[in-house]
Structure 1
Amino acid sequence: MDMTHYMELLADNQPWNLILFMAIPVILAETIAISELAILYTRKYSGGLWKLNKVCSILAGLYFTGVFSYLFVNVVIPLTSGGQWRGAIDVIAVGFYLLGVVPLLGMALLDMNLIWKNKSIEQKLKIHAFFVGFFLVVAHVAMIFGMLDPRLGSGTEGHSHMDM
């Protein structure tokens, strides 16, 4: 089975690529999501959980902006200019992975008080929760498409369902 560039990136240079491109962003995002649920439930806008949520949001946003920049310059531009994409599934997997920069950077900017400065805490919490959900959706779409054989749907499958 052929791999998408997304899966190939994670599989290469083990375990470092997996740690740098998957584990760190996902652990931060899951910490944000879990702490966000507790904050939404308790409405406690101070304390350790609140601080953990803010620190993880800022770290995730800044970290993933670096990941996005690195991959865009070193992967997306060369693949595009060289015509090396492995079909629509490949583009969707990589594209949705990189789209994660929007909600992660949005949370960071919100928590650094660089955007929506005049919103109430409740309004900011709603925006923050939207960004969390947005990230979870794009990350899961990237993972699902990333695990597919990029030849699916391109008419070049050429193997039986028994191939593994």
Structure 2
Amino acid sequence: MYMTHYMALLADNQPWNLILFMAVPVILAETVAITELFILLGRAYDGALRRINRAASIAAGIYFTGVFIYLMLNAVVPLTQQGLWRGPADWIAVGFYLSGVIPLGGLALLDLNWICRRADVQRRMAIHASLVALFLVVAHVAMVFGMLDPSVLGAMPMAAAHAGH
């Protein structure tokens, strides 16, 4: 099967890449999302759940910033320089995965009180919930396109592409 670089990354070096690039960010983000629901439903803007939510948000933002930098330097730049992208599904999967740094970074900045300092608690929670939702959307787009065979959107495996020349 021909696969995107997103899927290849997760499939390589088992189980470590799957843990580092999928499990850790998803567990942190899901912790934020689940605690966010209880916080918003109960209007419990402080307390143990909010402390867990805040810690997971900060950890996710910092961790994923490291993942973003690592993958930009070790995957995106080399793939681009060597012309090794596997078509639109590949670009979309990797691009959306890496764009997760925006909402996760935003969550960390918000919970570190580096942005929106003057907003009241309800406004901050609305921004927080919006960033959680944005992360869920970009992560799922990345997963869907990452699991897609790149040939479905017209990419050809390298061996087939070179055979035509």
Shorter-chain TM-score: what band?
A: over 0.9
Cα distance in 1, alignment partners of residues 155 and 135 from structure 2: 31
User: In structure 2, what is the equivalent of residue 148 of structure 1?
Assistant: 148
Residue 119 of structure 2 corresponds to residue 119 of structure 1: yes
TM-score, normalised to structure 1's length?
Answer: 0.94
Larger deviation, residues 30-39 vs 146-155: 146-155
Structure 1 residue 156: Cα displacement: 4.4
**Match of 2:151, as an amino acid?**
R
User: In structure 1, what is the equivalent of residue 104 of structure 2?
Assistant: 104
User: In structure 1, what is the equivalent of residue 162 of structure 2?
Assistant: none
CA contact (8 A) 2:107 2:128 kept: yes
Structure 1 residue 54: Cα displacement: 0.1
Percent sequence identity over matched residues?
62
**Match of 1:60, as an amino acid?**
A
Unpaired stretches in structure 2, ≥5 consecutive residues = 158-165
1:6-155 correspondence runs (5 A): 6-154=6-154
Structure 1 residue 93: Cα displacement: 0.3
**Structure 1 residues 8 and 36, CA gap change in structure 2 (3 angstroms):** same
Aligned CA-pair RMSD: 1.0
Aligned length: 157
Cα distance in 1, alignment partners of residues 16 and 43 from structure 2: 38
TM-score, normalised to structure 2's length?
Answer: 0.93
Cα distance in 2, alignment partners of residues 155 and 35 from structure 1: 41
Cα distance in 2, alignment partners of residues 60 and 40 from structure 1: 20
Cα distance in 2, alignment partners of residues 118 and 66 from structure 1: 28
Structure 1 residue 45: Cα displacement: 1.4
Cα distance in 2, alignment partners of residues 65 and 118 from structure 1: 25
**Match of 2:105, as an amino acid?**
L
Cα distance in 2, alignment partners of residues 64 and 155 from structure 1: 29
Residue 119 of structure 2: SS of its match in structure 1?
coil
Unpaired stretches in structure 1, ≥5 consecutive residues = 158-164
Higher helix share: 2
Residue 151 of structure 2: SS of its match in structure 1?
coil
Larger deviation, residues 147-156 vs 114-123: 147-156
Structure 1 residue 155: Cα displacement: 6.5
